[in-house]
Amino acid sequence: MRPVNGPDAEFLFAVYASTRTEELAQVGWPEPQQQNFLRTQFDAQRRCYESDYPGAEFQVILADGQPAGRLYLHRRAEEIRIMDLALLPQFRGRGIGTGLLRGIFSEGDRTGKRVSIHVEAFNPALRLYERLGFQQVATHGVYLLLERAAQLPAAAARS
């Protein structure tokens, strides 16, 4: 992991675009129209994240030293919000996301904070999130709000 910096803009756009491939395949738009739409949505998302999540951490995920995806986190008083976790297709299914999530869970457990994420109901990653212990707590339009409560160490739970 490393912090996002200025030269990462096109890489981050490619990661974002890769998450919308299946959705855009259904609309039948020509490639230039798809690219324009993706760029507009990417820019709007970036502005929203910057304004709605002050102090958020924006990271590039590295795999064997190569940029592989993005992880955006917002640490709050009682919660760690995963704003975005996305990998390029060639890095998916290799355990990278699971490892990152387990690391975030460990931080949540140590600090007593729940971990939360919004995910679209049709996102294939939903199965992974549920398998790792996230539970749905709310619905916001097409998005589900998932949470995983902080886990107390076994010794602390018994005392």
What digits encode the pLDDT tens for the residues 110-120?
Answer: 999 999 999 99
Nearest Cα neighbor of 22 from 8, 34, 9 is 34
Which class is domain 2-158?
Answer: alpha beta
Task: Say if residue 40's pLDDT is above 90.
Answer: yes
Q: Average pLDDT of 63-89?
A: 97
State the pLDDT at residue 156: 53
Give pLDDT tens digits for 147-158: 999 997 655 555
Q: What is the distance between the alpha carbons of residues 137 and 21, in angstroms, rounded to a whole number?
A: 28
Predicted local distance difference test score (pLDDT) of residue 87: 96
What residue ranges do the domains of the chain occupy? 2-158
pLDDT at residue 122 in the model:
86
**In whole angstroms, what is the distance from residue 96 CA to residue 125 CA?**
13
Q: Phi and psi dihedrals of 87, rounded to 5?
A: -120, 150
Contact 148/114 with Cβ under 8 angstroms? yes
pLDDT at 154: 56
Task: Provide the residue type at 44 as one letter.
Answer: A
Nearest to 88 by CA among 64, 116, 67: 67
* pLDDT surpasses 80 at 45: yes
Residue 135 confidence (pLDDT): 97
pLDDT value at residue 28: 85
Q: What is the mean pLDDT of residues 130-136?
A: 96
- What pLDDT, on a 0 to 100 scale, did the predictor assign at position 139? 96
Sign, CA torsion 83/89/91/93: positive
Task: Give 121's contacts (C-beta < 8 A, 6+ positions apart).
Answer: 142, 143, 144
Q: Is the pLDDT of residue 52 over 60?
A: yes
Query: Region 24-39: what's the mean pLDDT?
Result: 92
